[in-house]
Amino acid sequence: MVRGIGFKSRISTDKALNKMFSKLPTLGYEYVDIYSCAKRVLAEDVVAKTDIPPFDRAAVDGYAVKAEDTFGASQANPIILRVVGSVEIGENPNIVIKENEAVRIATGAPIPKGSNAVVMLEHVNVLNGDVEVLKPVTPYKNVSKKGEDVKRGELILKRGEVLQPQDSAILAALGYDKVKVYKRPTVAIVSTGNELVEVGKELEFGKIYNSNSPMICNALAEEGFESVYLGIARDNKKNIEKKLINALKYDVIIFIGGTSVGERDLVPEVVERYGEIVFHGVSIKPGMPVAFATVNGKPVFMLPGFPVATYVSFYTFVIPALYRMMNTRIIARKWSRVKGILQTRVSSEIGVRGFVRVLWEDGKVYPIRISGSGIISSLIRANALLIIPEDKEGYDEGEEVEVILIRDLTEVFE
Amino acid sequence: MVRGIGFKSRISTDKALNKMFSKLPTLGYEYVDIYSCAKRVLAEDVVAKTDIPPFDRAAVDGYAVKAEDTFGASQANPIILRVVGSVEIGENPNIVIKENEAVRIATGAPIPKGSNAVVMLEHVNVLNGDVEVLKPVTPYKNVSKKGEDVKRGELILKRGEVLQPQDSAILAALGYDKVKVYKRPTVAIVSTGNELVEVGKELEFGKIYNSNSPMICNALAEEGFESVYLGIARDNKKNIEKKLINALKYDVIIFIGGTSVGERDLVPEVVERYGEIVFHGVSIKPGMPVAFATVNGKPVFMLPGFPVATYVSFYTFVIPALYRMMNTRIIARKWSRVKGILQTRVSSEIGVRGFVRVLWEDGKVYPIRISGSGIISSLIRANALLIIPEDKEGYDEGEEVEVILIRDLTEVFE
């Protein structure tokens, strides 16, 4: 393309990115409802303000007891306990268990004072007002202890994380109804070119439909960014200038087209009058004529107008910039499949599809050693799932496995 | 977990999915603006209704000529042509070029009648009213021919594709301002459990915060689905029934919790009164007590209430169901990195970061052999990008490369 020839110097993509990063503002934070926080970037470390669970609770349906009272129980020698009440889930048990007493209890209910274990329904015979315990329990058997999932004061989520649905679950479990996130930049888009006609209008000979602005609006929406399309600037300085001034109401400005060095490539010239060109011309193909400037401290991207160049330069520069403005960088995307070496054996039952929560780090896969699907924190400590198919009993330590990322992997700036 | 013991029969995950798929309704289609169509599922094959480009246009800045007039031209023997006008981009050239005439032309402008090639600016000397051509051009040299990107009548996008930003670009280039997509199901969510308290309220002893409904609302939003949270049903049939009847206003209903076989697991029983239980109990871990029913033809999911089980069963059943209701199945997610064997050598310039559009299919990587960043269709024919770093001259045929998917890979149903 002859249009590129006029570039005296081009900088490398990495150099351009670093120059750009050093010029980007951040926008402060806001609080959003935890029901609609997905994809937002966390603006503070979250430390657990309570325990999960918040009390010792029954992990099974059965009878809350003093474990010591059941020692020695067996089918042949059942131990009889007096049933002094029952606790449903959600109830505050106003009972204190004394020696040789039991309380009927539902999974999830707080165990009454004086009790320290739960005998499963399967291990008792219910008599009239009494139960026969057929098997002993040790202290805290069948009890989810207060804080066993999350301990008060523990660091749960780090600043810079892109919030995932499972994060909202743990935030809710901790009692948060709002979460502090970075403000998301709003983006203004201006297309340039005398040849452009908006879709829906009649196409005169010699013109083409504007295809880049829907592409960029959709790309921004897909990433969760709000954009405002300001229409087409014609190839004259006045028109471009007017659009630029209007666009400065938004946090980020994207011009598409008119960034090269031809006669009608006026955008960088106009932008330079109002601000500072940080780079113009990058060793990237397609996308070489891309330029970046700041005007009144606001980032102004000038993307080349050829659609593939628009696409590549948008994803190479604009998306990382928008995340950088929220102090984060995305290293790997959610739902990617990645391989790694399993660090501990995991097992599963033949005939069952098993989902193991794992932490994938630098090609290593660490199973999160928490059984029980009630442990919310395992979904946050893990960043991936290892699926064990029905015909496998598990995977061995040292085996290479493929896992699915369940969160975006990020790096925080600063 | 004792709660699971009551399941007499459990079916395999795949069998459950197939049973579910056979019971799901579709919702018809609607037209959406191409400026906001990302993530929508295309409801028809799109056939190009015009050519892209819509006319023969200059691919460089230069002079439109009759190629034959330049034959034999060289630095030593320049051929002189008379400049009879100029065409700017976006203009309809009302000039007809005759023998030994030339017209100044800008990149993207339609070439005038009578011309069939463009001589680059670099290969002429501009004289007073004339140009000296220093290098011959062959017919259609430096011309983007009408239809070279997309030919009228070509199949561009297939029904069942999840629309990507680049798709909106080609739709716009073809003049579409709206696109026909499947209606997206709306989802009602009901949490169940006497122990649950909504975030923002005070937590009495024995209760826990409802953490599953924010998780599911965020998970739906992230995938682009609208959800309505209908609050908590307490563990009694009347309350569950009331929520169910209310939820039937929406396309899909999700109950969370109360799906097992304990005393307070009343949801399947209530749902069964109004409809048909398709399955209850699946060989999946966690998530075993998951159930699926239809009520008045509407899908009703009953997800287990333990958070990890909720998560796994949601992504295993609900998400595939919602896409199935739009006749599509997602096989691999956008932005995933996948490996494959390169089928043709690709080359790049040292010092430049190159982005090659490729088609990844069954572990094979086919470069899309279209140079020029003006070719929009290359972004649609490709489904991945191969990035060639600055220190590489390219990759060889047969080499294993890693590419990044730039669209969700899908399979259409029916």
**Between chains, do B373 and A307 touch, taking CB under 8 Å as contact?**
yes
Contacts of A212 in chain B (CB under 8 A): 169
Which residues does A314 contact at the CB level (< 8 Å), separation at least 6?
A: A216, A219, A254, A303
Q: Provide the shortest C-alpha distance from residue B44 to chain A (in Å).
A: 20
**Among partner residues B55, B106, B176, which is closest to A199 by beta-carbon distance?**
B176
Q: Spell out which residues of chain B touch residue A173, defining contact as CB-CB under 8 Å.
A: 208-209, 211, 307
CATH architecture of B2-25+185-326: 3-Layer(aba) Sandwich (3.40)
Taking CB atoms and an 8 Å limit, are B173 and A209 in contact across chains?
A: yes
pLDDT at position A2, please?
37
Could you tell me which of B33, B28, B34 has the C-alpha nearest to residue B327? B28
Greatest alpha-carbon pair distance for chain B in Å reads 99
CB spacing of B351 vs A12 below 8 angstroms: yes
Which chain A residues are closer than 8 Å to B218 by Cβ?
35-38, 163-165, 168
Distance, CA of B45 to CA of A66 (rounded, Å): 69
Chain A residue with Cα closest to B207: A90
Tell me which CATH code domain A30-52+148-182 carries: 3.90.105.10
Q: Using CA atoms, how far apart are residues B233 and B257, in angstroms rounded to an integer? A: 10
Reading the block at residue A325, the tokens are 């403005």
* Cα distances (angstroms) measured from residue A403 to each of A332, A341, A368, B182: 13, 10, 13, 31
| pLDDT tens sequence across A345-354 | 999 999 999 9
Contact check, Cβ <8 Å, A284/B335: no
Query: Mean per-residue pLDDT for A358-375?
Result: 89
The CA distance from B24 to the nearest CA of chain A, in Å, is: 23
How close B14 gets to chain A, by Cα (Å)?
A: 10
SS3 B154: coil
pLDDT score for A1? 32
Distance from CA of B249 to the nearest CA of A (A): 21
Between positions 23 and 52 of A, the ones with CB within 8 A of B are 34-39
Partner B contacted by A186 (CB < 8 A): no
- Which residue's entry shows tokens 């009228």? B152
Top-level class of domain B337-412 = mainly beta
DSSP letter assigned to residue B170: H
Asked if residue A31 has pLDDT above 60, the reply is: yes
Q: Which two tokens stand for residue A269?
A: 């010239």
Report residue A313 as tokens: 């330069």
> Is the CA virtual torsion A37, A165, B33, B335 positive or negative?
positive
Nearest neighbour of B177 by CB, restricted to A61, A199, A336: A199
Element (H, E) at A378: helix A377-381
Under DSSP, the state recorded for A72 is: T
CB pairs under 8 A between A and B: 337
* Inter-chain touch A1–B60, beta carbons under 8 Å: yes
Q: Across-strand partners of A279?
A: A292
Instruction: Identify the CATH homologous superfamily for domain A337-407.
Output: MoeA, C-terminal, domain IV (2.40.340.10)
The burial of B400, by beta-carbon neighbours within 10 Å (0-12 exposed, 13-18 middle, 19 or more buried), is given as exposed
Per CB-CB distance under 8 Å, the chain B contacts of A107 are 1-3, 262
Mutate to test the interface with A, among B124, B353, B378, B379 (most CBs of A within 10 A): B353
Compute the nearest-CA separation of A124 from chain B (Å).
13
Least CA distance to B382: which residue of chain A?
A308
Closest CA to B65 of B85, B43, B35: B85
Residues of chain B contacting A195 with CB distance shorter than 8 Å: 89-90, 108-109
Q: Coil, strand or helix: which one is A232?
A: strand
Chain B residues 251-280 within an 8 A CB cutoff of chain A? 262-264
Interface of B with A in 307-346 (CB under 8 A): 307-309, 311-312, 332-338
Under DSSP, is residue A213 helix (H, G, I), strand (E, B) or coil?
helix
Q: Which chain B residues have a beta carbon less than 8 Å from that of A170? A: 211
A169 to B212: CB separation less than 8 angstroms, yes or no: yes
**Residue A227 near residue A221, CB atoms below 8 Å:** yes
Interface test mutation site (partner A, options B1, B2, B316, B358, max chain A beta carbons within 10 A): B2
Q: Looking at the domain B29-52+160-182, which fold is it?
A: Molybdopterin biosynthesis moea protein, domain 2 (3.90.105)
User: Is the distance from CB of B143 to CB of B59 less than 8 angstroms?
Assistant: yes
Tell me which of A124, A191, A195, A385 to substitute to probe the interface with B (most B C-beta atoms closer than 10 Å).
A195
The torsion of the CA quartet A211, A217, A219, A223, rounded to 10 degrees, works out to: 180
Task: State the nearest Cα–Cα gap between B303 and chain A, in angstroms.
Answer: 13
CATH of A57-144, one of 3.30.1490.20, 3.40.50.300, 2.170.190.11, 2.60.40.10: 2.170.190.11
Which one of A212, A235, A264 has the shortest CB-CB distance to B169? A212
Q: Per the omega criterion (within 30 degrees of 0), is the bond before B53 cis?
A: yes
User: What residues in B contact A390, CB-CB < 8 Å?
Assistant: 12-13, 283
What pLDDT digit, counting tens, does each position of A82-104 carry? 999 999 999 999 999 999 999 99
Alpha helix (H) residue ranges in B356-407: 377-381
Assess whether pLDDT exceeds 60 at residue A3.
Answer: no
Give residue B262's pLDDT: 74
Task: Give contacts of A 104-123 with B, CB under 8 A.
Answer: 106-110, 120-122
Residue A6: per-residue pLDDT = 60
Q: What angle do CA B381, B382, B384 make, to 5 degrees?
A: 160
Euclidean distance between CA atoms B194 and B17, whole angstroms: 31
- Do the Cβ atoms of B348 and A285 come closer than 8 Å? yes
Show residues of chain A in contact with B12, CB under 8 Å: 351, 353, 390
Does B307 sit within 8 Å of A379, measured CB to CB? yes
Domain residue limits, chain B:
2-25+185-326, 29-52+160-182, 57-144, 337-412
**Three-class secondary structure of residue A104 per DSSP:** strand
CA dist., res. A365 & res. A154, Å (int) = 23
| Min Cα–Cα distance to chain A from B236, Å | 13
Whether residues A169 and B2 touch (CB distance < 8 A) is answered with no
* Most A CBs within 10 Å, among B308, B334, B371, to test the A interface: B308
Mean pLDDT on A290-304:
98
Determine the residue of chain A that is closest to B62 in CA distance.
A2
- Average pLDDT of A8-27? 94
Domain A2-28+183-329: give its CATH architecture.
3-Layer(aba) Sandwich (3.40)
Omega within 30 of 0 (cis) for the link into A289:
no
> Is the confidence at residue A213, as pLDDT, over 50?
yes
pLDDT, averaged per 10 consecutive residues of chain B (414 residues), comes to 56 97 96 98 97 94 96 96 95 95 95 97 94 97 95 97 98 97 98 96 95 98 96 95 98 94 86 97 96 98 96 98 97 95 96 96 92 86 97 97 97 87
Residues 208-237 of B with CB under 8 A from A: 208-219, 221-222, 229, 235
Q: How far apart are CA A179 and CA A31, in angstroms?
A: 5
Over residues A44-55, the pLDDT tens digits come to 999 999 999 999
Q: Mean pLDDT across the stretch A27-40?
A: 97
Q: Which of B36, B336, B390 sits opposite A218 (nearest CB)?
A: B36
